[in-house]
Amino acid sequence: MKRKFYVLCLFCAAAIAFAGCSKDEEDVTGSIYGLVTDADNGEPIKSANVSLNPGGKSAVTGTDGRYEFLDLEPGQYTVQIVRNGYESNTKRITVEVGKTASGDAVLSKASSKLKLNTNTLNFGAGQTALSFNISNIGNTGSIDWSISSNLDWVRISPLSGTTATGKTSEVVVTLLRDKITGPVSDLITILADGESVLVRISADVSSSGDDNAGDSGDSGNTGGNTGSVVVEPAHASLPVTLQSAVRSGSNVTLTFSIQNNAGKDLTQLRLYSSYMGVKFGAYDDLGNSYNASNVQEIKIGNKTSGGAAYEIWPQFPEGVKLVCTMTLKNVSTQAGSFTNITIPCGSQPEITTSSYKIVFKNVGL
């Protein structure tokens, strides 16, 4: 009996000693737990790269903007958070035994370095080569840029390059007239350090219009005889220009531009089928009405959407002009004009005095 009691005591003592050791082991390390958010709107930032030094560990924020580093020895650490389109943020964090240190960080949008002298190249009847300039308006560092294009009727040179601070690079666009048989218009994208800017290129084999490159201006001319087109932007700092309305059978394609004069970068320009109580709608001069189900496609750069629940939201840097095309289907071939076209529009961050819609009136076909 005494022997059994002795064995039991030894077992209990060993268990207590083991538990004590386990507790000691748990208490020799600490951890860092952080949330990365956008400085403008407080939204979590996913896919941010987080590096830890010393130690050389790294992590990527999830869809909730969170990351963690576990089992760290106590001491001083530096955490650096990097995400395309944002300024990097570096934090000094103290890790203590048995505690979780906060690694929360806020990232601000990176200031724009990329600027173009024009966003539109329009080839007249006698022109075969036009150019635009890429400028680095940042304070420090060069920008590496590239051009994304799937157009087989132009040749672009160069397709990539590096531009130093305060310098300008010229890009030459050559029209291959033997590749076109009628009016053409499409977009190319200039990408640089997380930024993107669009350039619209258009040409017509029989065009007798202006032979100069540049924006079509605010004249509101369209493909038909309409009288005066009226354009109502969603906000005065986001002026809109209707460039054309071209019919092809029962389809009508609108081309219009939106300029960001808001004095700040917008993370999103929102064009929806329905937004803040405003719904897409159009009326022709015969009294026919059209809704979002007539939207075959809306395109801004490489972003495309369509159908009754279309949604499109590209980034919109300050000072940039975005060119949009919207194709409406099943339009009456007897209609001579649209008396009204309403497109729901918003932005992020929100411009609070916005009317949440772009309106075109008296658009000839």
- The pLDDT mean for the chain works out to 82
Give the least confident one: 98-107, 131-140, 270-279, 336-345. 131-140
Q: Which residues of 210-302 form beta strands (DSSP E)? A: 230-232, 240-248, 251-259, 268-272, 274-275, 278-279, 281-284, 289-290, 295-300
Which amino acid appears at position 215 of this protein? D
Q: How far apart are CA 356 and CA 277, in angstroms?
A: 9
**Each residue's pLDDT tens digit, 228-255:** 688 888 888 888 888 888 888 899 999 8
Type of residue numbered 122:
N
Residue 281: CA atoms inside 13 Å, Cβ hemisphere, count?
Answer: 11
Angstrom distance (rounded) from CA 276 to CA 362: 25
Higher pLDDT: 164 or 24? It is 164
The more confident residue out of 294 and 7 is: 294
DSSP run (H or E) holding 49: strand 49-53
Question: Using one digit for the tens of pLDDT, what is the confidence trace for 108-156?
Answer: 876 667 888 888 888 866 678 888 889 888 777 788 899 988 899 999 9
Report pTM: 0.43
Rounded Cα distance, 186 and 125, in Å: 18
**Domains of the chain, earliest start first:** 8-107 (2.60.40.10), 114-214 (2.60.40.10), 218-365 (2.60.40.10)
pLDDT score of 21: 47
At residue 210 the predicted structure's pLDDT band, cuts being 50, 70 and 90, is very low
Provide the H-helix boundaries in the chain. 2-26
C-beta of residue 72 within 8 angstroms of C-beta of residue 47: no
Using pLDDT thresholds of 50, 70 and 90, give the confidence band for residue 92.
Answer: very high
**The one-letter amino acid at 193:** D
